[in-house]
Structure 1
Amino acid sequence: MVLWVFGYGSLIWNPGFDFDQKMLGFIKGYKRTFNLACIDHRGTPKDPARTCTLESEEEAICWGIAYCVNGGLEKEQEAMRYLEKRECEYDQKISVDFYEDANSLEPSVTGVLVFVSTPDPVGNKYYLGPAPLEDMARQIATANGPTGNNRDYLFSMEKALSNISHEDDSIIELADAVRRVLSRSNEKKITSSDIPLKSHTPLVYLSPLLEGIVMDSR
């Protein structure tokens, strides 16, 4: 077997596992959103960060990088063990078609693995759901975790998409909003207690992840 994994968030600029090939391209029917809670990398259970997930949208396309691992079963299993730990806040793995050419009707690769978070505020405790742009910007501007702050994740996402020449307007808009919040912070100190964190279940009920799985790749 050959393992293909699609990276649409931090996997674009920091895959973190050994792969044999990578391709620039896109998947259809999904859009990138910042509706996933992160409590172990860029945030905490008390003050979660917002990170990327994918949500269904019929006409949408999402550009990213597909990584191929074809060095045998042991190498594939090693990659999957790494990804399962890193992507532990995603509650679903799906299989998608991957396209390199925007004009092609035929996918370049089928059966590409993608980690996503289902938009279920009851069944998925890490799904934040949408929020007003300003609220999201303030949350991202102030959230910090064991491996860094939330805003750097967003700015890295913005830069990575620019580097592959496929900017995402929604990411640019959110990053600009965060920059506005940061510029105002010199006039008024922003604290995480000011921020409405979630439109569903209060985030204080999020449980810390098991010890030993915090990784520095997100």
Structure 2
Amino acid sequence: MTVDMNEFWVFGYGSLMWNPGFEFEERQAAHLFGFRRALCVRSWVHRGTEERPGLVLGLDRGGSCRGVAFRVALESREAVVDYLRERELVTHVYKERTLPATLGNGRRVTTLAYICDRAHHQFAGSLSVEEAAVTISSAIGKSGHNMDYVRNTLTHLRDMGIRDHWLEDVGRAAENLYAGAHA
């Protein structure tokens, strides 16, 4: 794949959609093929601790993922990559990749994306709705409660017209557990 050196795009599928943390010139709906959004990463920093890990999204192999692509000014590329590496590669459960994505207008671009490392000890694999909900309802990390992460992600997916039935089921089950624990 050739990389267009005249543009720099970042693909967001989880918290990057609603909290990119960097300035961008353009934001578009985007579709990435070959990877799917999955709640498959045990979070030891941002949404949990090593003693009580949370769960966050990763791009896992197979399927496709609808998300957001951000076009970043070329003069900001290095600073944005540094920021993203500090944010996403804290424990190296993600691998940095350049992947093709199709923008909402049909144009194909190369994006910087972070996929999960299935060999990493924080990879959670496939969890049941109940297992994921129990984890999410009680985990807290330096970026806040895991429940807030799931709520924000689901809100932004809904706003974009994206349905993720499994994540929606996890969110409902986690809300019930969270409400019961805080009643």
* TM score, norm. by length of structure 1: 0.75
Which secondary structure state, in structure 1, belongs to the residue aligned with residue 74 of structure 2? coil
Aligned residues of 1:20 and 1:71 also touching (Cα < 8 A): no
Confirm or deny that 1:71 pairs with 2:69. Answer: no
Aligned residues of 1:91 and 1:118 also touching (Cα < 8 A): yes
Q: Which residue of 1 is the match for residue 64 of structure 2?
A: 61
Computed over aligned residues only, the root mean square deviation of the Cα atoms, in angstroms, reads 1.8
Q: Which residue of 1 is the match for residue 17 of structure 2?
A: 12
- When the two structures are aligned, how many residues end up with a matched partner? 176
Bigger proportion of residues as strand: 2
Aligned letter for 1:156? Answer: N
Q: Which residue of 2 is the match for residue 135 of structure 1?
A: 131
Bigger proportion of residues as helix: 2
After superposing the two structures, state which structure 1 stretch, 149-158 or 16-25, moved more: 16-25
Q: Which residue of 2 is the match for residue 86 of structure 1?
A: 87
Q: Percent identity?
A: 26
Deviation at 1:101, TM superposition (A): 4.8
Deviation at 1:130, TM superposition (A): 1.8
Deviation at 1:186, TM superposition (A): 5.7
Which secondary structure state, in structure 2, belongs to the residue aligned with residue 32 of structure 1? strand
Larger radius of gyration: 1
Inter-partner Cα distance in structure 1 for 2:22 and 2:139:
26
Q: Deviations over 1:31-65 (max 9, x none)?
A: 111110111111111111100001112xx221111
Inter-partner Cα distance in structure 2 for 1:71 and 1:97:
18
Aligned residues of 2:29 and 2:104 also touching (Cα < 8 A): no
Instruction: Detail structure 1 runs of 4+ shifted over 2 Å in the superposition.
Output: 182-187
Aligned letter for 2:8? Answer: L
Inter-partner Cα distance in structure 1 for 2:66 and 2:79:
26
Confirm or deny that 1:29 pairs with 2:34. Answer: yes
Inter-partner Cα distance in structure 1 for 2:104 and 2:145:
35
* TM score, norm. by length of structure 2: 0.88
Deviation at 1:180, TM superposition (A): 2.4
Which secondary structure state, in structure 2, belongs to the residue aligned with residue 167 of structure 1? coil
Which secondary structure state, in structure 2, belongs to the residue aligned with residue 170 of structure 1? helix
Inter-partner Cα distance in structure 2 for 1:147 and 1:113:
23
Alignment of 1:1-218 (within 5 A): 1=5, 2-57=7-62, 60-72=63-75, 75-88=76-89, 89=91, 90-101=93-104, 108-120=107-119, 124-185=120-181
Q: Name stretches of at least 5 consecutive residues in structure 1 with no aligned partner.
A: 188-218
